[in-house]
Every structure is written in C-alpha cells, then in structure tokens.
C-alpha cells in the first residue's frame, strides 16, 4: 500500500527556525474544579509541539474548549490547559487572554525561539465557527506558517483549522499523520471478515456511516441506545427506551436494503439490561430486547448479546468500533462495553477504536494499549472511515 501520508505537506516541508508557527491543536479537555481532569489530548499534541520547539520555532497554539457560543465564558478559559501543558513540556508556556487583537500581537512580539504561547479559546469569537475571513485573517497575521494537528476537528470548516490554511503555508502535524496511517487500512484494503461495532445514543449520528460502509463491512454489531430505534423500526416492543421516531423510516430502509442484498448482516441485541431510571440506584433486570416491559428502558446489552458479539469479534480480521454499547459510565451498565472491549483486545484482527466516548471507555477499562489504533476524533474518525472528504484535511494536501 502506498504511504497514505505522502499526499500531505508535513512539518519537514516547512522552514521553522525563528519562524512564528500557528498550531491548531485539540485541547478540548474535561475540566474539574479548575483543573484538567484528563490530559490525553494535550499529550497527543506533544510530538508536534516538541518537534517545533526543538527546531527553533516560536510556537503559537490555538484551540477551542467547550461550546461558549461566541461569547467569553469564564469557566471555559484555557488557563488550566496552559498550566498542565507547562508541566508536560521543558520550555516556557505563556497563556494569553485572547486569540486576536493588538494586545495579543504585542505579547507575541516577545516570544523567543523554542518558547510556546497558548491563545485563548477561539470559540469566544463567533467568527471561529463561521469561518469568517476577517477573524481567520487576524489569526493568520500572528504567524508565518500554519500547522494543523487537531484531528478531531478536520471534518469542520472553521477559521482556526481551515480558514488560516488559506492564508499561510500549511502542513499536517504528527498527530494528524498518525491518524491517517492508523485509519487508512480500514478504508483502502480491509481484510475480511470486516466487523463494525456501532453504538452510541442516536441513530441520526450513525446512519450515514452505515450507508457509506455497507459495501465494505461484512457484519454490523449494533448496540447502545440506537439499537432500540432499530428494534422499534422492526416492530418490536422496547418499553421506555430511547428511540428516534424521526429516524425510523430511514432505519427501516437500511435494514430492508441489507436484507435484500444479503451481502452484509446487521446483528441486533437479543437481550438487554433494563431499569426504570438512568442511575446506579434503580432495580436492574435482564430481559428479551424485543419485549421490554412498559416503564422500563434498555441501558446496556445483555449477556447473551455479549457472547454473540464476542464470537463474531473473535473471527474478525478488521474491526472498527464507534460508540459505546451501553451506559458504561454507570457501574451496573458497564458490562456490555467492557466485555466487548476485552473481546476486541483479544482479537487478532486490525482494531480501530473511534474517538469520543468509545475512546474514553477503552481508556477507562485500561485497554487502549492493546488496540491497533485509538482515534482522537469521534465524528472525524467516522467521517474518514466513511470515505468522506474532510475539508481541513483536504486543504493540507500537496496539490491543494
């Protein structure tokens, strides 16, 4: 297989010594009590940051945090992130109070080669999500070159990951290249059987991926709350389980296509762990997933389904997993996601774990190191696997 990263401009293509380098990182990390609760995304950016500082660049980092809606929100400032980054690198980190404007420009004039400045949350400005030319023009004016390393955002056409790349010489960072290398085998040359584990809450967020991947995947193992929309679409009784009525017709169309073509199999839960409340305190029962009693909701797949799915996973040569299979954040409903994760870890196939909640679950269960690739992006990972054109990746290609 041709090196999938060869079509992208890389750090080695940029002149770095003494240059101001604007780097879009993904520091959208969880905060608790004013501290970073999980620093995985910060650590993922370190190879790029360290390469730049070691090569004499003046590093200017930019990221968003949360969804402040284009306004300053004090609890979404990046100060805790800057503090944690300063503990992880061997160079000076200066956190600025904004990401554009005369004061920012003045402070960056003081930045020395090998030092790092962290700009404030880009989403404090409405021009970020709007990919506003005036806003990304001001960002671009801060630097000589641009490096994109926020894989979790490459499916978005925002100012700080796309707009600035139209104004400055741009290249892909090390994390983005790692993601491309890790995900490409499942897109270009997957070995069969190819099994996709699809979970999460909403059918609306996954149905597009199912349609796009159906020609390549041999079996879909469906779990999470979205499984109940599938079961409901087949006419089964799912009690008070979460369903998306607006998606029922499309789900039914998808299931009909798969049934008619007979090339791909969609497997749905046989049993489910149910409760009358989404908490750790309520009574928990295991029931037939197609006959959930009134006032009870499905929150996890049951033991029979875990065994069935694990058997399919054992023989798979390519495995892709997007979305947890139950409410793993609650102890009574961890088994489905945890035991399937253990089966994936034990598999001899090529194993790709989508970002977001799936990656968080795998990390929580201590299994991340046993996977072939754990993506840092949820929607971006799924978009790449679907073969979709991701705007903030396309603009980094040599011929763009």
Contact 347, 378 (CB under 8 A): no
CA 42 to chain centre: 14
Q: Which tokens is 149 given? A: 């390393």
* Cis previous bond, 299, omega within 30: no
Long-range contacts of 337-342, Cβ-Cβ distance < 8 Å, separation of 24 or more: 337/199, 337/300, 337/361, 337/365, 338/365, 339/306, 339/310, 340/197, 340/221, 340/223, 340/301, 340/306, 340/309, 340/310, 340/313, 341/365, 341/367, 342/367
Is the C-alpha dihedral spanning 240, 305, 273, 320 positive or negative? negative
Q: Which tokens is 270 given? A: 């046989």
Is the C-alpha dihedral spanning 30, 31, 35, 37 positive or negative? negative
Burial 164-203 (b: 16+ CB within 10 A, else e): bbebbebbbbbbbbbbbebbbbbbeebeebbbbbbbbbbb
Catalytic residue IDs: 41, 202, 356, 379
């Amino acid at each position: 297989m041709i090196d999938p990263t060869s079509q992208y401009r890389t750090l080695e293509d940029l002149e770095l010594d003494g240059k101001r380098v604007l780097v879009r990182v993904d520091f959208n990390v969880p905060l608790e009590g004013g501290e970073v609760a999980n620093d995985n995304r910060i650590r993922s950016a370190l190879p790029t940051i360290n390469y730049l500082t070691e090569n004499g660049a003046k590093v200017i980092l930019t990221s968003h945090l949360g969804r402040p809606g284009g306004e300053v929100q004090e609890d979404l400032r990046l100060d805790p992130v800057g503090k944690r980054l300063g503990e992880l690198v061997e160079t000076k980190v200066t956190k600025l109070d904004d990401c554009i404007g005369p004061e920012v420009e003045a402070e960056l004039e003081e930045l020395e080669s090998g030092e790092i400045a962290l700009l404030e949350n880009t989403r404090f400005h409405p021009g970020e999500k709007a990919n506003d030319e005036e806003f990304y023009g001001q960002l671009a004016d801060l630097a000589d070159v641009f490096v994109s390393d926020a894989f979790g955002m490459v499916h978005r056409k925002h100012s700080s990951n796309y707009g600035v790349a139209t104004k400055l010489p741009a290249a892909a960072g090390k994390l983005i290249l790692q993601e491309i290398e890790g995900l490409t085998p499942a897109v270009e040359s997957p070995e069969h059987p190819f099994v996709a584990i699809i979970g999460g809450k909403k059918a609306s967020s996954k149905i597009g991926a199912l349609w796009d991947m159906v020609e390549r995947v041999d079996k879909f193992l469906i779990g999470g709350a979205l499984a109940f929309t599938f079961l409901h679409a087949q006419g089964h009784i799912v009690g008070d389980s979460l369903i998306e009525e607006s998606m029922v017709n499309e789900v039914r169309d998808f299931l009909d296509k798969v049934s008619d073509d007979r090339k791909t199999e969609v497997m749905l839960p046989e049993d489910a762990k149910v409760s009358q409340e989404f908490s750790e305190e309520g009574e928990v029962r295991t029931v037939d997933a197609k006959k959930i009693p009134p006032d009870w909701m499905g929150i996890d797949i049951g033991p029979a389904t875990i065994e069935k799915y694990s058997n399919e996973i054992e023989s798979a040569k390519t495995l892709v997993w997007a979305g947890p299979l139950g409410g793993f954040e609650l102890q009574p409903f961890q088994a489905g996601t945890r035991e399937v994760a253990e089966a994936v870890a034990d598999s001899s196939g090529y194993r790709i774990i989508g970002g977001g909640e799936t990656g968080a679950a795998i990390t929580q269960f201590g299994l991340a190191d046993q996977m072939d690739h754990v993506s840092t992006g949820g929607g971006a990972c799924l978009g790449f696997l679907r073969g979709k054109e991701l705007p903030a990746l396309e603009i980094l290609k040599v011929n763009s």
